[in-house]
Structures are given as C-alpha cells and as structure tokens.
Amino acid sequence: QVQLVESGGGVVQPGRSLRLSCAASGFTFSNFAMHWVRQAPGKGLEWVAHISYHEINEHYADSVKGRFTISRDNSKNTLFLQMDSLRPEDTAVYYCTCESLDAFDIWGQGTMVTVSS
C-alpha cells in the first residue's frame, strides 16, 4: 500500500547535525514533489522544505533556510532532510509528505527530533 516511513530522529545537542530519511513505497515516488512539515509539541503544523520531483527546485521556510537541506534519491525512493546548526526551537515531530493535486496528500507517521543540552 501507499506508505511513507520516516527515520533518523532522536535527541541532539544544540549546534549539532541530524539527517532524516523518508522511505516511500506503493506509488511512483519520482513523479511527485515532496515536502517536510514539522509540528512542535502542542503546536500547529509548520512547512519546512520542498523539493520538486526532478530535484531541480527547492524551497525553504525562512526559519530553516541556510541550515537545512532537502534532497532525494529517486532510484531508492527516499527523501532526506539534512539538519545542521540545530536549535532548541527545531524540536518537533518531522513529517514527510507527498504533494499531489496542490495539496499534501500522503503523510508518514513522523519522527521526533529533540534539540536539548
């Protein structure tokens, strides 16, 4: 079935790095733009980053621009988020989501990232 599975979350100290992965299955991954969306504890959804299906276009929220890098490997049906210079305010559940019909159509279960000393 259609599925997105995130991994790579954990507890990390401020200033350190973490790399998230999202494995896709059940659909043609290379045909769709992909996004990362995060949700801080008890807060709403915040869009983080986008990458086009052909990897040419990337967009980032101002809050992560210059620190986070989105990428994908279409041969392995996998989406990545490289997070550098992490801050306590980056603490959140990170979801990968597939864009279809101008909306966030498919969602993973999320992976928790905690930035704390």
Partner 1 sequence: QAGLTQPPSVSKGLRQTATLTCTGNSNNVGNQGAAWLQQHQGHPPKLLSYRNNNRPSGISERLSASRSGNTASLTITGLQPEDEADYYCSAWDSALSVWVFGGGTKLTV
What residue ranges bind partner 1 (CB under 8 A)?
A: 35, 37, 44-47, 50, 59, 61-63, 95, 97, 100-105, 107-110
Tokens, residue 49: 């980053």
CB of residue 13 vs partner 1: minimum separation in angstroms? Answer: 27
Separation CA 9–CA 29 (nearest Å): 22
In the complex with partner 1, which residue's Cβ is closer, 86 or 110?
110
In the complex with partner 1, which residue's Cβ is closer, 58 or 73?
58
